[in-house]
């Protein structure tokens, strides 16, 4: 009864356009006060505090701030030139360079929407000049930008790890494998598109220009090396790696590239603090709701129901459910709300919690480019000055590529789980 009241109250508030955190928290309070166990109200306040009193969560605001610094600086531009020098001369090379740049940008930012505004304006005019249609170019940029949600240090992966109490490092490795599968799928589509439309190859860059691009790209490449090497070399925890990323990005952009001034870092921190505060409120409200629903045995009941259903069907149901949720709710909010509820049911049929994290986050990444309310769709409208209807047509082929990649990692988990298994 209490859990039904919580869910109905939350849905009613969401339909009334209330903020997500308020819908979650208000539904929890109503269910707890009127239908829950006999506990003092102060317990809810304690649960709110406990929800964010987790060391791993500290990585979230740090990576958000690092992403904001990177998106305003020169790192993105240098990565674009480096990738163009490496693959620009092959069939579909410029499009593949866009995919690889977004992947590398994801490895240093962790925020899905950041690549749209950082990489998009750099590669978009170049794609058009080399014969790629406006529809293809926009669809490619918006889709490739979602790689930041998959490739570590993904904020969504961190949130999933906290909600399900699983190793952040393990989930990062599963996300890395998932990102690589998606990169291969997108790159293959870029080649097919270039062949079908008879797009000529770019001339190979002269060796001196390639060497120059490599030299200019070494410092930006140092950031993912610092993060990955620090975490998997046993030097940093993910939280400490996030702090190191902030320091590295700030030093590089202000003192080495001189794209930003020190006072601009303060202005950036003001903007970042709004995003960070929003996420922390969501985490607190979501963890309180999860605690109450666990108290009401909702995850246990779902797990018992699913234990009699074949694992293939459960995975299909999870994909459909999470993909639909991702169409309407921003990814970070969705991870916080649904992960603790889905995880027990999935694990009851033998799904590994690390594998599940990759599935959930990939679905939500697809949701960012899926109508009606995909976040990247609206960012793309303002960035590229393109209509909603045209963006919908642009992203449809790429959604198809994404779903094929999703099915591959869902039903062939060995494609991505060999990396976490190596680290165990």
User: What pLDDT, on a 0 to 100 scale, did the predictor assign at position 336?
Assistant: 86
Looking at the structure of the chain, the number of domains it has is 1
Query: Residue ranges of the alpha helices (H) in 233-261?
Result: 238-251
Q: What angle do CA 192, 196, 197 make, to 5 degrees?
A: 120
Q: DSSP labels for 55-83?
A: GGGGHHHHHHHHHHHHHHSSHHHHHHHHH
Say what the pTM is.
Answer: 0.87
Q: Comparing 1 with 169, which gets the higher pLDDT?
A: 169
Task: Residue 317: count other Cβ atoms within 10 Å of its Cβ.
Answer: 15
Using pLDDT thresholds of 50, 70 and 90, give the confidence band for residue 36: low
Highest-scoring range by mean pLDDT, 13-27, 201-215, 245-259: 245-259
**pLDDT at 2 exceeding the cut of 70:** no
Mean predicted confidence (pLDDT) in 279-293: 82
User: What pLDDT, on a 0 to 100 scale, did the predictor assign at position 1?
Assistant: 55
- The mean pLDDT value of the chain amounts to 86
Task: Write the pLDDT tens digit of every residue in 193-220.
Answer: 999 998 877 778 888 888 888 888 888 8
Angle, helix 59-72 to helix 93-109, in steps of 10 degrees: 140
Q: Mean pLDDT lowest for which of 41-55, 218-232, 315-329, 408-422?
A: 41-55
Domain span at 211: 2-423
């Amino acid at each position: 009864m209490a859990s039904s009241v919580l869910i109905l109250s939350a849905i009613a508030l969401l339909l009334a356009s209330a903020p997500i955190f308020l819908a979650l928290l208000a539904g929890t309070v109503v269910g707890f006060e009127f239908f829950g166990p006999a506990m003092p109200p102060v317990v809810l306040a304690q649960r709110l505090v406990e929800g964010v009193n987790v060391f791993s969560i500290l990585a979230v605001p740090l990576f958000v701030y690092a992403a904001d610094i990177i998106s305003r600086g020169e790192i993105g531009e240098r990565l674009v030139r480096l990738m163009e020098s490496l693959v620009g001369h092959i069939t579909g090379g410029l499009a593949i360079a866009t995919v690889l740049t977004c992947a590398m940008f994801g490895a240093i930012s962790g925020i899905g929407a950041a690549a749209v505004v950082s990489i998009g304006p750099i590669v978009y005019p170049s794609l058009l000049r080399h014969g790629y249609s406006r529809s293809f170019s926009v669809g490619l940029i918006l889709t490739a930008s979602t790689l930041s949600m998959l490739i570590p240090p993904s904020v969504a992966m961190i949130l999933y790890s906290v909600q399900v109490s699983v190793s952040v490092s393990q989930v990062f490795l599963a996300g890395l494998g998932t990102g690589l599968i998606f990169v291969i799928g997108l790159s293959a589509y870029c080649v097919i598109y270039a062949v079908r439309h008879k797009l000529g190859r770019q001339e190979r860059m002269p060796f001196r220009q390639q060497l120059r691009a490599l030299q200019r790209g070494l410092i930006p490449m140092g950031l993912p090396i610092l993060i990955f090497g620090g975490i998997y070399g046993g030097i940093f925890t993910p939280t400490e790696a996030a702090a190191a990323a902030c320091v590295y990005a700030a030093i590089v952009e202000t003192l080495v590239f001189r794209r930003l001034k020190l006072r601009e870092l303060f202005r950036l921190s003001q903007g970042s603090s709004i995003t960070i505060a929003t996420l922390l409120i969501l985490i607190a409200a979501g963890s309180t709701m999860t605690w109450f629903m666990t108290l009401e045995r909702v995850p246990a009941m779902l797990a018992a129901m699913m234990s009699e259903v074949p694992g293939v069907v459960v995975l299909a149901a999870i994909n459909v459910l999470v993909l639909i949720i991702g169409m309407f709710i921003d990814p970070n909010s969705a991870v916080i709300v649904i992960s603790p509820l889905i995880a027990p049911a999935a694990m009851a049929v033998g799904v590994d919690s690390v594998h599940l994290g990759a599935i959930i986050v990939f679905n939500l990444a697809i949701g960012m480019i899926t109508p009606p309310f995909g976040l990247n769709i609206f960012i793309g409208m303002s960035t590229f000055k393109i209509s909603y209807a045209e963006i919908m047509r642009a992203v449809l082929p790429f959604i198809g590529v994404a779903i094929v990649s999703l099915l591959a990692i869902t039903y062939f988990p060995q494609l991505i789980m060999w990396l976490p298994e190596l680290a165990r």
